[in-house]
Amino acid sequence: MSNQPRCTGRARDRRDIPTGTACVEANTMPEEQIGMRSYPRLPVLGWSAFSGERAAPTPGVLSARYRRYTTSGRAAIALALRALHIGLGDKVLVPTYHCLTMIAPVVQTGAQPMFYPITASGEVDLEWLQRAALAGSRAMLAAHYFGIPQPMLRLRAFCDAHRIALIEDCAHTFFGMSDGAAVGSWGDLAIASLPKVFPVPEGGLILSAMHPLKEFDLAPCSWRDEVKAAIDAIEVGVVHRRFTGLNTLLGGLFGLKGWLLRRHDSADTPANRGGESPVPTVDFRFYFSRPAAVTRWLASRVRQARIVGNRRRNYAALASRLSRIDGAHALRPDLPDDATPYVFPLYVNDPAASYQRLRSAGIPLFRWDELWPGTPVIGGDHGLDWAIGSFSLAVTRTCLCMISRR
């Protein structure tokens, strides 16, 4: 597990997170990875974000009756646990295949994470849970991995039978249908992450079809954070040349800003920070704040149909071009009609020999190889295997072109 800086506030730039899940500020990125800025893994703001039809062709989490914007998907999980009155002594069922930011809010509430295995298709292993000791389990966090909706009908019935509240993790799956209903509508509460879908610097959602979410009085963003969020979104677009006609002018201004920041931060480099925990921590006030207004504005204005169409086309193209390579195979080669992918999951037989080499070549990919301490080994589980062997490739044109050249 790598020793990465802790996230103690709003991340400066989430387009360039160098490994799976840790929240890393842009000015702490190792020099050898700066070149990867040319290959974005997450959406980037530009003129094209406002072209095409506004509405998505398939329902999604916004179909929920009640919703509140949060600073992140992790903050949304923390708020969901708070709404369910989860606390000290409670158990929360969580998957063995996870990012650290899924588990951190559970631990920070004082609850105990109870890990369950996943099947070869990424579903909750209900057969294992039927045999497990569930005393004290009050909630379950269940994820739709890679942007492909998981079946939810049986899981909903299981949770109802055992009086376990279901938190539906839609961080990867903003648009889609599961068993005839929109993602986000199956859980007692659901959460979503905006930067994985929209070209925004931060943001998440907590949603519910039944819970009004009236108990949350989220603090407004400071004016400094408002301005910073808008600048960050534009700067990332300029770095990736998405503002034709203004790239050169704005690039010069942002270059000056970067130079000034480097001078100011030169005494606070990762090498000088000492031994910090790889487990992410965050100021609790961050959980109970609203995201910047520019985040909410962009999420409501960019063209959803373009997002859905581009991601589906790129996923299909990656599936075709990677279908005959030796030593690897797609975990989900066939994309369901009602799915909008977040990434393309490629399972690699010898991940140790290729992961860092592919990243060094600039391929925009990541994996969830950082596990929460104490994650158990469970017979028949695919979670720990996926953590090492499953590479998540960005479903972007850049990634598609780079794969085609290799």
Residue type, 166: L
- 279/104 Cα distance (integer angstroms): 8
Per-residue pLDDT of the chain (406 residues; tens, 9 = 90+): 333 333 333 443 333 333 333 332 233 333 333 344 457 778 999 999 998 888 888 899 999 999 999 999 999 999 999 999 999 999 999 999 999 999 999 999 999 999 999 999 999 999 999 999 999 999 999 999 999 999 999 999 999 999 999 999 999 999 999 999 999 999 999 999 999 999 999 999 999 988 888 888 888 888 899 999 999 999 989 988 899 998 888 888 888 777 767 766 654 544 444 444 556 655 666 788 999 999 999 999 999 999 999 999 999 999 999 988 889 999 999 999 989 999 999 999 999 999 999 888 888 899 999 999 999 999 999 999 999 999 999 998 777 767 766 6
Q: Which two tokens stand for residue 322?
A: 């990677």
Look up the pTM and report it: 0.85
Query: What is the arrangement of strands in the sheet containing 365-366, beginning at the earlier edge strand?
Result: 328-330, 343-348, 390-394, 365-366
User: Smallest Cα–Cα separation from 219: which of 286, 297, 290?
Assistant: 290
Give 110-156 as a DSSP string. T-EEEEE-B-TTS-B-HHHHHHS--TTEEEEEEE-GGG-PPP-HHHH
Architecture in CATH for domain 304-405? Alpha-Beta Complex (3.90)
* Distance from C-alpha of 392 to C-alpha of 290, rounded to nearest angstrom: 29
Task: In whole angstroms, give the CA distance from residue 155 to residue 164.
Answer: 10
